Amino acid sequence: MKIILAKPRGFCAGVDRAIICVEKALERHGAPVYVLNDIVHNKHVVDNLREKGAIFVKDMDDVPAGAHLLFSAHGVGPERWDKAKNLDLEVIDATCPLVEKVHFEARRFASKDFTIVLIGEEGHDETVGTMGWAPEHIRLIITKEDIDHLEVLDESKVAFITQTTLSVDDCQEVIDALKIRFPDITGPPTADICYATSNRQDAIRALAPQSDLVLVVGDRESANSTRLSEIARDYEKESYLLSNAEQIDPSWFDGISTVLVTSGASVPEVLVQDVLKRIQEIEPSEIEEAELAEENVHFRLPTTIS
């Protein structure tokens, strides 16, 4: 059996930066360091940081006054900043710079009194944070069917922004439908969807047709990992989203000659290597790495931690 190992895969620059922020905060200030929500959507990463002394909270009222609090890579709205100030917390902002770009666009369009259509998942940490920057202006949708129910004050002043981890194709379909409904709609000067999300989706599209089975390493809470598995199924390929090697079912490989393995942008490489090792225990396999794009993006650490 042959294993095609997609590259790029795994950590994006924003995830890498967020994890480093937690580790450096622990080194500098000692445990505990508090993190609002999961720093990234990966249980292995969260558990590892928890063992080092990070405490993950859903409610800022659970953070003692004067403590150090990290905002996750998904970003937060201004109300969280205000509450942190009121609670006298020392904030370390690990928001991905690409998410910050979306926040800036929301504020910019809102300042011009535009109705802003945010294409994103309801309840997702990133979407909740983005909506906080312009709550009276933003309308949230996820499918082109949602467009029929949109109400705007002025059809000549409509803009769109997007969650950074959506399917590129699905998102473009919604944008195209928005342009039909609102011919004057405007958008950001560059696409909101993250470079790493796009690259990993492009790799699936290029390599899935060569494969009989697609395995995506990533948690179900991870939007970009889920998208990868969905794209594989678009090619009518058997596809499984698994968070670790223990979830592999040996029966998946019956009659299979080629397996494609990739991982979402919040997945550490050790989990991918564990999956490869487990596959080779089940079925003798050769690994062939297929690199479709080179990634050399790095983001500076926030000044509060660098």
Please give the chain's pLDDT, 306 residues, in tens. Answer: 999 999 999 999 999 999 999 999 999 999 999 999 999 999 999 999 999 999 999 999 999 999 999 999 999 999 999 999 999 999 999 999 999 999 999 999 999 999 999 999 999 999 999 999 999 999 999 999 999 999 999 999 999 999 999 999 999 999 999 999 999 999 999 889 999 999 999 999 999 999 999 999 999 999 999 999 999 999 999 999 999 999 999 999 999 999 999 999 999 999 999 999 999 999 999 999 999 999 999 999 999 887
Listing from the earlier edge strand, what are the strands of the sheet with 238-242?
238-242, 213-217, 258-263, 2-7, 286-291
Q: Could you say which DSSP state residue 113 is in?
A: T
101, two tokens: 């770009």
Burial of residue 50 (number of CB atoms within 10 Å: 0-12, 13-18, 19+): middle
3-state SS, 175-238, equals HHHHHHHCCCCECCCCCCCCHHHHHHHHHHHHHHHHCCEEEEECCCCCHHHHHHHHHHHHCCCE
- Domain residue extents for the chain: 2-11+195-291, 13-95, 98-181
Specify the fold of 13-95: Rossmann fold (3.40.50)
Q: Count CB neighbours of 227 within 10 A.
A: 25
Gap between the Cα atoms of 53 and 55, Å rounded: 6
Domain 2-11+195-291 of CATH type 3.40.50.720: no
pLDDT given for residue 306 in this prediction: 77
User: What is the pTM for the complete model shown?
Assistant: 0.93
Chain-centroid distance of CA 10 in Å reads: 11
> Would you state the structure tokens that stand for residue 80, as one six-digit string?
């969280």
- Integer Cα distance of 98 and 181 in angstroms: 28
Sheet holding 33-36, edge to edge: 54-57, 33-36, 68-71, 90-93
Report the C-alpha gap between 39 and 56 in whole angstroms. Answer: 8
Measured CA to CA in angstroms, residue 11 lies from 123, 151, 218, 291 at distances of 23, 38, 11, 15
Between CA 100 and CA 69 the distance in angstroms is 18
Active site residues: 126
Tokens matching residue 184: 């004057």
Give the whole-angstrom CA distance, residue 136 versus residue 277: 51
Given this structure, which CATH class describes domain 98-181?
alpha beta
- Torsion over CA of 260, 265, 266 and 268, rounded to 10 degrees? 50
Quote the CA–CA distance of 29 and 66 in Å, as a whole number: 12
Instruction: Give the separation between CA 95 and CA 80, rounded to whole angstroms.
Output: 13
Same-fold call for 2-11+195-291 versus 98-181: yes
